[in-house]
């Protein structure tokens, strides 16, 4: 018997979903999406081809949350999946004895939903990371990595992407378990749409840096290192984002923006003496 409620977009809950300083709101219902970017279509097709017949059996799912027919469909790699079933499964893979197999089973469908403008966010990204996709066979891991990059790049290159940029950043950053790949791509993308997204999003993040400087005892961002694969700890996601804002985003915004409010915020940041690099400004 299926006791779950229909899948619905999760409300933004943290750094990846809402620009700091802005009130979190439930994601709007997607309207007619713009045409998909060619690179995104290619990445979705590659993901679908790579996982065709390779999903494996996720095992007997939780019958409290899934109906018998849904469990049977997920265990049969040839069976079609409903959008609701793919979304619900992708948000919490712990209902299955073999979460990685469940992730492989629904990921191509989830990617297709994302590409056409349906909401995917932090919950789906976190579950994908927890399924350990980076440790999957090389062809599978590379297909996932290529999709995440294509999905994020397509959003950066459109001033009106199919989903708000915060949603895409939330999904891709949590799936990677670090914002670094998204920030590296953003740094590489040098065009008006990416600059406009940077102004929209980073303004709130910089306001948080200013609040932290004014009240260091109660920081809005955590800079606690996390265990890393090497001999030393890795900086946490917020610490990585803070460094990127200071060394890349702030100089780039100062070089491009004409918005008085944003320029005033950048002046306040500069007045604090926080280290800003001039390299990005000159490169822009």
Residue 99: both structure tokens together: 């979460």
DSSP bridge partners of 226: 234
pLDDT given at position 259: 82
Say yes or no to pLDDT of 148 above 90.
yes
pLDDT at 63 over 50: yes
Q: In the structure, what pLDDT confidence band is assigned to residue 2 with cuts at 50, 70 and 90?
A: low
The ranges assigned to domains in the chain are 38-176, 194-223+234-283
Write down the mean pLDDT value for the chain.
78
Place of tokens 């995104």: 40
The C-alpha atoms of residue 6 and residue 152 are separated, in whole angstroms, by 27
pLDDT band of residue 59 (cuts 50, 70, 90) is low
Q: What percent of the chain has pLDDT over 90?
A: 42
Q: Compute how many other C-beta atoms are within 10 angstroms of the C-beta atom of residue 197.
A: 23
The vertex-5 CA angle with 3 and 7, nearest 5°, equals 135
Contact 95, 65 (CB under 8 A): yes
Q: Name the least confident of 130-134, 187-191, 220-224.
A: 220-224
pLDDT at residue 234, as a whole number: 58
What pLDDT was estimated at residue 52? 86
Closest CA to 35 of 167, 166, 154: 154
Query: What is the DSSP secondary-structure string of the chain?
Result: ---PPPP-PPPP-STTTS-TTS---PPPPP-SPPPPPHHHHHHHHHHHHHHTTT-----S--TTTS-HHHHHHHH-TTS---HHHHHHHHH-GGGSSSHHHHHHHHHHHHHHHHHTT----HHHHHHHHHTTGGGS-HHHHHHHHHHHHHHHHHHHT-SS-SS-HHHHHHHHHHHHTSSHHHHHHHHH--SHHHHHHHHHHHHHHHHHHHHHHH-TTS-SS----B--SSSSPBPPHHHHHHHHIIIIIHHHHHHH---HHHHHHHHHHHHTT----SHHHHH-
Residues 21/209, Cβ–Cβ less than 8 Å: no
Mean pLDDT of 98-118: 94
Question: How wide is the angle at C-alpha 282 spanned by C-alphas 276 and 284, nearest 5°?
Answer: 105
| pLDDT greater than 70 at residue 149 | yes
Q: Which of the pair, 72 or 26, is modelled with greater confidence?
A: 72
């Amino acid at each position: 018997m299926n006791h779950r409620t229909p899948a619905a977009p999760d409300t933004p809950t943290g750094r990846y979903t809402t620009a700091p300083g802005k009130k979190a709101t439930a994601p709007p219902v997607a309207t007619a999406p713009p045409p998909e970017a060619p690179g995104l279509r290619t990445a979705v097709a590659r993901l679908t081809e790579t996982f065709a017949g390779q999903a494996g059996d996720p095992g007997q799912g939780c019958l409290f949350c899934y109906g018998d027919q849904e469990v049977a469909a997920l265990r049969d790699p040839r069976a079609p999946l409903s959008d609701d079933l793919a979304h619900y499964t992708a948000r919490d893979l712990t209902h299955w004895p073999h979460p990685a197999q469940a992730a492989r089973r629904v990921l191509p469908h989830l990617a297709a939903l994302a590409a056409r403008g349906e909401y995917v966010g932090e919950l789906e990204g976190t579950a994908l990371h927890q399924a350990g996709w980076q440790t999957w066979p090389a062809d599978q891991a590379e297909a996932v990595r290529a999709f995440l990059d294509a999905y994020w790049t397509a959003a950066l290159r459109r001033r009106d992407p199919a989903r708000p940029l915060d949603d895409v950043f939330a999904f891709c950053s949590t799936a990677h378990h670090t914002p670094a790949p998204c920030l590296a791509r953003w740094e590489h993308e040098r065009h008006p749409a990416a600059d406009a997204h940077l102004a929209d999003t980073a303004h709130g993040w910089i306001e948080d840096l200013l609040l932290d400087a004014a009240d260091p005892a109660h920081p809005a961002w955590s800079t606690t290192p996390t265990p890393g694969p090497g001999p030393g700890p890795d900086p946490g996601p917020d610490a990585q984002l803070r460094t990127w804002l200071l060394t890349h985003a702030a100089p780039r915004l100062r070089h491009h923006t004409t918005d008085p409010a944003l320029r005033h915020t950048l002046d306040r940041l500069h007045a604090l003496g926080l280290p800003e690099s001039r390299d990005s400004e000159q490169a822009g």
